Amino acid sequence: MNITYNKNFLKWLDRQNTADVDKIDDFIEHLETKGFEGLPGRNKNSNEANSNKRDFLDKAQYANKYHLWHYHIGIPTYIKQNRYKKYEFGDYVSEYILHYQIVDANTVKLIKLDNHKPFAMPNEVEISEHLKQLALEAKFLFSKSL
């Protein structure tokens, strides 16, 4: 699996503490070597928004349009149980989630780390930065092949 990011994500990552960067690195290494199988945290399609909210359908369509997902990264730590439920490995939750975009069957683009509550999907500016970066990468690769 190929993992990509835009300049803003890399700039943001450079300002984070070592423990958080290590968890993001672990996620990246896991995807590169094993794909999505066996991740400890909950990994969800972001189209599964809260159906009790009035804008549920709009959010689900937005997530589908941009192929948005989010992963419970374990920052600051994984929550393995609360007073109502014990979470199983592969379904651990955390305060922070890593938003990403599935670009194609072999490519994931990291967008941003964000607090899970309240849940807010990446905005179009954050996503378009990724799309702009992809276009630049494609143009560069195409020019090299000529």
Evaluate if residue 54 carries a pLDDT over 70.
yes
Q: Which CATH number belongs to the domain containing residue 51 in this structure?
A: 3.30.2310.20
Report CA-CA distances (Å) from 78 to 5, 8, 57, 75: 24, 26, 29, 7
Q: How confident is the model at residue 104 (pLDDT cuts 50, 70, 90)?
A: very high
pLDDT number for residue 14: 87
Describe the strand order of the beta sheet including 107-115 as a list of residue ranges.
Answer: 2-5, 107-115, 96-104, 68-72, 43-45
Task: Provide the residue range defining the domain that includes 138.
Answer: 2-145
Buried b (16+ CB within 10 A) or exposed e, 78-95: bbeeeeeeebeeebbbbe
How many structural domains compose the chain?
1
pLDDT mean across residues, the chain:
86
Evaluate if residue 105 carries a pLDDT over 70.
yes
The count of other CB atoms within 10 Å of the CB of residue 124 is: 12
Evaluate if residue 133 carries a pLDDT over 90.
no
Predicted structure pTM score: 0.83
Looking at residue 49, its amino acid is A
> Which tens digit of pLDDT belongs to each residue from 3-30?
998 778 888 888 889 999 999 999 999 9
The CA distance from 56 to 49, in Å, is: 6
Q: Where are the alpha helices (DSSP H) in the chain?
A: 7-14, 18-34, 56-66, 124-145
Evaluate if residue 136 carries a pLDDT over 80.
no
Q: How confident is the model at residue 72 (pLDDT cuts 50, 70, 90)?
A: very high
